[in-house]
Chain A
Amino acid sequence: MNNEKVQNIDSNTACVNESTQQHPAWYNLKYAAVGIIFGIVFVKAEIISWFRIQEMFRLQSFHMFGVIGTAVVVGAISVFLIKKLDIKTIHGEKIKIADKEFNKGQIYGGLLFGFGWALTGACPGPLFAHIGAGFYAVLVVILSAIAGTWTYGYFRDKLPH
């Protein structure tokens, strides 16, 4: 694995389609507003439920497949319309979405994340929602996830990509 390719993956996994416009910090509150809606949906549709994730992986319930499937369809139609109609941001900027480049990490890392998803019953978003819902033991899981991310950063040059 040459270093140059790893560096390329670097630039592809952080700070993609970075807006070039500068705004005051409080503009970020609009993202908090979207996050609030997301957090409510997470809890109300039981997406943060360990039991729902176990049902999904045992094919005992359609719920999570329905949630993810509908989200992808709605997202895909939205992205299609944004591109087709050349819709701009509210600040008048052209919308760009960076392509994902394939590397073997999507397989190896994907499998490892799948293991973690089935164990914890949560992907990263729901982990944060549990804290908001007042279930503080999940802090342990989040700290461990941060440690996992850091460990990946430490060993990434040696991992197959």
Chain B
Amino acid sequence: MMEQIQQPWPWYVAGILIGLIVPALLILGNKTFGISSNLRHVCAACIPAGLPFFKYDWKKEVWNFFFVGGIFGGAFIANAFLMSGAPIEVSPALQSELAGYGLTDYSYMLPKELFSFESLLTVRGFIIMVVGGFLVGFGTRYAGGCTSGHAIMGLSNLQWPSLVATISFMVGGFFMANIILPWILSL
């Protein structure tokens, strides 16, 4: 049993559990699943700067901070107690592509060559961490949600604007990963 838990979980287990978060939040207190809103609540709480977009009662949304706090805790538990310690498995095609950019470290789920404080001083590290993060924050708010709010919650509620958003996420991702990222990684 413990051995199975320590292996990477299959997609259907993860999919079912994540899908069940939708009714869990609704039934526990009429909350809609969505994570990127927290970035907005942080702005509203810490740096509202008089902007109308951040002028609302963020304290009412405190439940979402608790939800994110749980994600911290869950990730900590999984990493500390539920891992096998084996290097993660990555498709051979991707491995050989990444090797061409000098990325060969599979000890964590992010390539440590790209995601580190030292890597911030390199061009590709800066683009991936800082520009990438900026686009995640800017884009999710502009779109009104991220993978959880649009792709999972919105599609579960059969909202066509969420389908538009989800398709846009995927188009943007395919374009970046296949056309632009190879160039960035070679910098």
By a beta-carbon cutoff of 8 Å, the part of chain A in contact with chain B is: 7, 9-10, 12-19, 21, 23, 25, 27-58, 60-76, 78-79, 81-82, 87, 89-91, 93, 95-103, 105-125, 127-135, 137-138, 140-154, 156, 159
Contact = CB atoms under 8 A, between A and B. Distances in A.
Given A49-B109, A108-B142, A138-B115, A30 B132 contact: no
B156 A78 contact: yes
A116 B168 CA distance: 12
B19 A70 contact: yes
A113 B140 contact: yes
B2 interface: no
B117 A34 contact: no
Interface range for B: 35 or more
B71 A140 contact: no
Contacts of B15: 66-71, 73-74
Chain A contact residues: over half helix, strand or loop, or mixed? helix
27 contacts: A7-B52, A28-B66, A34-B24, A38-B67, A39-B75, A45-B11, A45-B14, A51-B109, A58-B178, A60-B94, A67-B14, A67-B18, A70-B15, A70-B18, A72-B156, A100-B157, A105-B143, A111-B175, A116-B131, A116-B136, A116-B137, A117-B172, A119-B176, A129-B74, A144-B133, A146-B42, A154-B49
A30 B121 CA distance: 41
Interface string B161-178: 110111111111111111
A151 B138 contact: yes
A86 to B, nearest CB: 12
Contacts of B169: 110-111, 113-114, 117
Which of B61, B78, B90 has most chain A Cβ within 10 Å?
B78
B75 A151 contact: no
Given A31-B31, A48-B75, A100-B161, A112 B138 contact: yes
Contacts of A146: 39, 42-43, 137
A34 B79 contact: no
A71 B19 contact: yes
A68 B147 contact: yes
A153 B40 CA distance: 9
B75 A110 contact: no
Contacts of B122: none
Give the interface SS of chain B, mostly helix, strand, loop or mixed.
helix
Interface string B139-167: 11111111110111111111111101111
Interface of B: 5, 8-33, 35-40, 42-43, 47, 49, 51-54, 56-57, 60-64, 66-79, 82-83, 88, 90-91, 93-94, 98, 106, 108-111, 114-117, 119-120, 127-148, 150-162, 164-178, 180-181, 184
A44 B5 contact: yes
Contacts of B180: 115
A149 B43 contact: yes
Contact of B133 (A25, A116, A156): A116
Nearest to A12: B144
B68 A128 contact: yes
B23 A123 contact: no
